Structures are given as C-alpha cells and as structure tokens.
Structure 1
Amino acid sequence: MTFSVPRVDISAYVTEGTAEQRAEVARQIDSACRSVGFIQIVGHRVPESITSAFVAAMDNFFALDLEEKKTYRTPPSINRGYSPPKSEALSLSLGVESANRMNDFFEAFNVGATAADYPASPGLPEIEYADNVWPNVPGFEESVTAYFAEAARVARTLTTIFGHALGLEENFFAERTGHSLDILRMNNYALPPGTDIALDGDLTGMGEHTDFGIVTVLWADQVRGLQVLGQDGGWNDVEPDDGAFLVNLGDVTARLTNERWMSTLHRVKPPIINGTIERRRSAAFFHDGDLDAVIDVLPSCIDDEHPALYAPVTVGEHITAKLKGSRAGVINTDAQRESARVLSSKR
C-alpha cells in the first residue's frame, strides 16, 4: 500500500460554503484522520504577505550569533523563548530512551498565548500562560504576532470541522478551548558553524514523537526531512504541497476518539548533502486546549469491541508530562501506547 497524505480544501468553512459542501469537507477530514492522521490543507486563506513576513522574521532571528540567541532562553518549565541545538529530546516525551539524551540538533523559538490574551478567564497560572520573550530583532514581534493570529484561526476552523465530522454538539471544542494553551514553535534545522558532530545516518533533527494537544498547523520548507510513521510500520517522507499547511492530530484528539483518529508519530531527519546538513525551517502552531479541560473518551467511540483505552486526564496534566520529557529530560512513563509504536517501527 502506497503511503500518501490526503489533500483537503477547507474553503467551504472559511467562506460561506453550502451545507452540502461543508459536509463533504467533514467527510474528507474524517477519512484522513482515520487513515493517516496527517492532512495537506489548502483553501485556508492565510495571506501570502503575512507568511512571507513571518518567515523573514524567523530567518532574521536564527541568523543571530548563538550566544546572543541564548540570552532569550527560559527555564524548561516555561514553554517560551529560545532552545539551542541539542537541548531537547522529543523521544523522551513518549517514553523512548535515545542513545544520547537531549540530542535533537534543531534550534527553536517559542511564543504562546498569554494570560492577558484571555481576559474572560482570570487567574490563569503564570507558568503555563507566561508572557512572551521577544528578541531585539526589528519587526519580529509584529510579524510573528500577525502569523500567530492566522494560524490560530486555521486551527479553530479545523476544530469546527472536527466537531461536525464526529457528530458532536456545535460548541464542543469551543467549550474546551476558551483559554487554549496555544504555542507557535519556530524551528531551524542547521547546525552552527564549528559544531562538532558526526554526520551519520543516526543524526536526529527531531526525535520520534506525537504532538501533545488537539491539532497542529505546520508551515514548512519544501525540503526533505519530515517523516511520518505509516500503518505498515515504515517511515515515509512528507513535504507540504504548494500553498498548503501540513496538519496533524495530537494526543488529546486521539484520546477523545479512542484512537479512531490517530495522533501519528513523526520525526525529522534532514538530508546530508556534500557533508553538510541541508537547512530546513518549519513553524508548528499547537492548538492544545484549555489547561483545566478534562479529556475523556467520547461515548460514541466506545462499544463492546472498542473499550475505552484511556482514563480521563486534564490537558494540563498530559502536557506537563510530555514537556518534562522533551525539555527537561524526564522520561514520560505514561505514554506506553505511543512508545510501543516507535519501538516496533522499521527504524
């Protein structure tokens, strides 16, 4: 069976589509979520001017000297600011120990939704809804903020489609995302000059992992490196189509649907050309849900042949365990189902 990522045009949900057109989009989304868990999304109506300015801002930040970038680091518990190369290990987020801990060579910069963004939800904890750290790069904050708003709009459009595809009440996801833990992570896969590292087949850009929340909206270069685990246990290269976002499901959605919809494992292994790593950039917008939202398996996804696979958990409890693995090196012991898939893959 040939692996492919379905392409879905969501314009009927962005503009005034008919009921029939929206039903067809929901049907296509349901099929993609059942079979692959990754989708090429077009028709999103994100202006190219906003995306181009955002990518330029990313480039300007990552072009800074490494020591200057390190001044924008935060403690591992604060999911904001700069992460230098080899300071994280995504595989630990799902309980898989790598040969060399904290060996993912990507560098990243994170911004997120703050407590001030949710005035209707007073008293949100400062750690999870922390203020952003903005680098001294002209135009960076403005360009990143504009793109963040567009990516958030696309993510919320997708949850509306999810609700229709799953036959849920109209406000199901809205009730669980009023103060969502939304994070935009900008990634750069290129080692700084002079970095001492062996360029071999085991080099890890970003280790095997599932995303943590409801849905991820990914902008990426059309450069090889992203690999998705197929149902045959093999890893498959995936690149975005022209003008498309790559969208994938997170663990929260897999738990809600009792794995009817999968949180698909993926990793990044950028190619090595003429002895150097081919640079690759990406930006993942994680729409994770409210910190205090309880995630329980939907009754419609349980029957005699499909008992509930997960106990109820809050989004905050789940995300905290995942982040302790990836950012603080504390192996996650509550991800047995995901780690089993990694360990059985054709690595």
Structure 2
Amino acid sequence: MPAFAVPTIDISAWVGPGSSDARAAVVAAVDHACRTVGFMQVVGHGIPDAVIAELTEGLDEFFALPLEVKKAYVRPAAENRGYSPPKSESLSYSLGVDPVTRMNDFFEAFNVGTSAAEYPGSTATEADYAENTWPLETRTFEPAVREYYDEARRVAHTLTRIFASALRVPDDFFDGVTGHSIDVLRMNNYALPPGEIELGAELTGMGEHTDFGLVTVLWADQVAGLQVLAQDGSWNDVSPARGALLVNLGDVAARLTNDRWMSTLHRVKPPVVDGTIERRRSAAFFHDGNADAVIAPLPHFVSDEAPALYDPVTVREHITAKLAGSRAGRKNTGARREAARVTAAGRG
C-alpha cells in the first residue's frame, strides 16, 4: 500500500470562472480523495489572508482571558454554543468507545453557529439553531469570527456543488439537504500553562472521532498534533500547508454514499515539544445539514452486492447522539461501524 498522503486540490475553477475541463478535473480529484482518504488540502479557496490573520488575533484575544471569565460563557451541551473548558469533553464517547480516562480531552473551545432567525420561513427552530453568545470582554473577537464564518460557509457551499457533480446527483441536490443547515464554527485552543498538569498517557488533545455532518472546513496553524487514520489502520501526522484549508468528510457524507466516501477517524495528540505543550489553534467549520433532513444511502450506491449499511436517520437524531457522547459522557451505541475501526486501529 502506498504511503499515506492527503492530496492538495486547487478549487479555484469552482470559486471563480473556470473552464468545463478545469472544473471536471477538480471533481475527479475531489471524488478520488473522498473515496481513498476522506481528507484533502484545499487551495484556491479565495479566503483572503487578512481574514485569517484577523481570526487568529481574535482567537488569541478570547483564549487569553482568565479561565473563570471564559467559564461565564458555558452553555448547555445540547445548544452547541459558547465555551467548553479543558477536560469537559471526550470525543471518543461520540463513537461509543471508552476513552483512556473519562472526559480527558485537554482542549478548550468556543462555538458559534447559524441561528433559527437566519432561516425565516423554514422549519428551523431555536432548539436546533440556538442564538450565539459573544464575550463582552473582547473587542476584535466577534467581528473577526463573523467575517471568517461567512467565508468558511462560502467555501462549504462551493464544496457541496463539487460534491453534487461527483456523486452524479442534480446540481441543486444539496439545497434540499443543507438549505437550512446546522452550521457551527468551533474554535479550539490546545495549550497548558506550565506546571498545571503532569504530562502523561492520560492526556489527550482531542480523542479519536469522526465529524458529525456533511463536510468540515478546517483552518489550523502549523503546529503538529492532528493525526488521521489510514485504511491500513495506522495513525498519520497531518499538518496543513501554508495557505491551505484542511477539508474532511463527516458521517452524513458516508451515510449518503453507503461508505463509498469516507468519514475518516482523526484525533489530536497533545503538541508536546521538549516536554512541554506548545500552543496550537484551529477553527473547524461544520456544515452538517438540515436538522430535519433524512439521511440514507443514495439509491445508486445500494445494490444486491452492496446492501445499505445504514438505516435512515435525521441529522438532528444523529448529532444529538454524538453530542450526548462527547459532552455528557454517554456512549453513542449507534456508532458501531466507527467504533469497530477505532478498536481495530488501537490507541498507539
């Protein structure tokens, strides 16, 4: 088997004017990446460098606040908004897999997302599309995050147009799946003040997991930590190229394609340098799909030789089960296929 690699794909032909041949080449490259890796590095996405620079400044501003100040912005887990303190989650539970120690993922995060008010006339309700909380103690955080959020959502919409072509479905197919999508931007900070915790095997940056929805658009700095599970069961380090976004598929894509496209397991190891943890930041935009969209394998991916691997489920039901695992510590018993892959790969 060839060495593991995440392909780099230039999607500029779909961001701006592009020839039919150039667009077809992008579709073929994306389809191949989705079938073989489930991850890709995307360039030509059109997000200005200044927008990303402002985002990093905003992240630094918020995460530098005292922990007790940040804890004032903790929201109920089901809302998927606001602040998550260190060691308050365990992503392994979202797969129904026991973590090394309970609720041991040592990262902090802040979530914002699309509210019900942004989808007038749809079936979106506040129960699934909560209003955002913005920290009052920051000046640059909110405008920087809002601007980046809009850009990341534009990239996600571009990718779904490419996906429609690759999956041989009508151009507007994903309008019915993501017209009032549950979109969330999760901003993560992996850092520990020196001396506050002993480094050891029980410390996990972010446990092994698959993403919940259709597609994830990730900005991350170039500090090591992200690892992706290859088809041979090995864990492989992945770091974004300068100017690239890491894009990976989530469970909704795997379910739609009957696992022809891969919702790939990944994790974040503590970025330890010379015995201390180095600062690492990331911002993951999750384009998950409509809460009430029913997800089942597309008919042309099901046959007598390839029976349906998944029962129909709404995006709401699927995400609720995954969040109950990662944040409430209740095993997600509906993730048998993903849990089996974790068990086969081991924790090494």
TM category, shorter: over 0.9
**Corresponding residue for residue 329 of structure 1:** 329
Structure 1 residue 124: Cα displacement = 2.5
**Corresponding residue for residue 145 of structure 2:** 144
Letter in structure 2 aligned against 1:83:
S
How far apart in 2 are the matches of 1:68 and 1:194? 21
Deviation track 1:318-344 (CA, whole Å, cap 9, x = no partner) reads: 000000111111110000000000011
Deviation track 1:24-63 (CA, whole Å, cap 9, x = no partner) reads: 1000000000000000000000011111101100110000
Corresponding position: 1:220 with 2:192:
no
For structure 1, which segment, 16-25 or 102-111, has the greater mean C-alpha deviation from structure 2 after superposition? 16-25
Q: Is the 8 A contact 2:194 2:276 kept in 1?
A: no
**Corresponding residue for residue 3 of structure 2:** 2
Structure 1 residue 21: Cα displacement = 1.0
Deviation track 1:296-315 (CA, whole Å, cap 9, x = no partner) reads: 10111112221100010000
Deviation track 1:89-134 (CA, whole Å, cap 9, x = no partner) reads: 000001001131111000000000001111231x522132111000
Deviation track 1:245-282 (CA, whole Å, cap 9, x = no partner) reads: 00000000000000000000000003322321111110
Alignment of 1:185-224 (within 5 A): 185-195=186-196, 197-224=197-224
How far apart in 1 are the matches of 2:8 and 2:276? 32
Q: Is the 8 A contact 1:85 1:191 kept in 2?
A: no
**Corresponding residue for residue 338 of structure 1:** 338
Residue 126 and residue 193 in structure 1: after superposition, are their counterparts in 2 closer, same or farther (change >3 A)?
Answer: farther
Q: Is the 8 A contact 1:155 1:217 kept in 2?
A: yes
Corresponding position: 1:112 with 2:149:
no
How far apart in 1 are the matches of 2:319 and 2:33? 25
**Corresponding residue for residue 12 of structure 1:** 13
Residue 202 and residue 99 in structure 1: after superposition, are their counterparts in 2 closer, same or farther (change >3 A)?
Answer: closer
**Corresponding residue for residue 177 of structure 1:** 178
Deviation track 1:214-271 (CA, whole Å, cap 9, x = no partner) reads: 0000000111100000011010000001100000000000000000000000000033
**Corresponding residue for residue 124 of structure 2:** 124
How far apart in 2 are the matches of 1:99 and 1:32? 31
TM-score (normalizing by structure 1): 0.97
How far apart in 1 are the matches of 2:191 and 2:267? 16
How far apart in 2 are the matches of 1:314 and 1:219? 28
For 2:192, what is the secondary structure of its paired residue?
coil
Structure 1 residue 202: Cα displacement = 4.5
Structure 1 residue 139: Cα displacement = 2.2
Give unpaired runs (5+ residues) of structure 1.
none
Structure 1 residue 77: Cα displacement = 1.3
For 2:307, what is the secondary structure of its paired residue?
coil
How far apart in 2 are the matches of 1:147 and 1:71? 24
For 1:142, what is the secondary structure of its paired residue?
helix
**Corresponding residue for residue 54 of structure 1:** 55
**Corresponding residue for residue 76 of structure 2:** 75
Give unpaired runs (5+ residues) of structure 2.
none
How far apart in 2 are the matches of 1:110 and 1:320? 16
Letter in structure 1 aligned against 2:278:
E
For 2:77, what is the secondary structure of its paired residue?
coil
How far apart in 2 are the matches of 1:310 and 1:274? 45
Q: Is the 8 A contact 1:270 1:279 kept in 2?
A: no
Q: Is the 8 A contact 1:219 1:246 kept in 2?
A: yes
Deviation track 1:125-159 (CA, whole Å, cap 9, x = no partner) reads: 21321110000200221110110000000001001
For 1:341, what is the secondary structure of its paired residue?
helix
RMSD: 1.1
Structure 1 residue 194: Cα displacement = 4.9
Q: Is the 8 A contact 2:223 2:239 kept in 1?
A: yes
Letter in structure 2 aligned against 1:331:
K
For 1:32, what is the secondary structure of its paired residue?
helix
For 1:77, what is the secondary structure of its paired residue?
helix
**Corresponding residue for residue 30 of structure 2:** 29
Letter in structure 2 aligned against 1:267:
R
Letter in structure 1 aligned against 2:100:
A
Letter in structure 1 aligned against 2:94:
S
Corresponding position: 1:239 with 2:224:
no
Structure 1 residue 203: Cα displacement = 2.1
Stretches of 4+ aligned residues off by more than 6 angstroms: none
How far apart in 1 are the matches of 2:111 and 2:232? 33
Letter in structure 2 aligned against 1:233:
G
For 1:344, what is the secondary structure of its paired residue?
helix
For 2:51, what is the secondary structure of its paired residue?
helix
**Corresponding residue for residue 164 of structure 1:** 165
How far apart in 2 are the matches of 1:24 and 1:93? 36
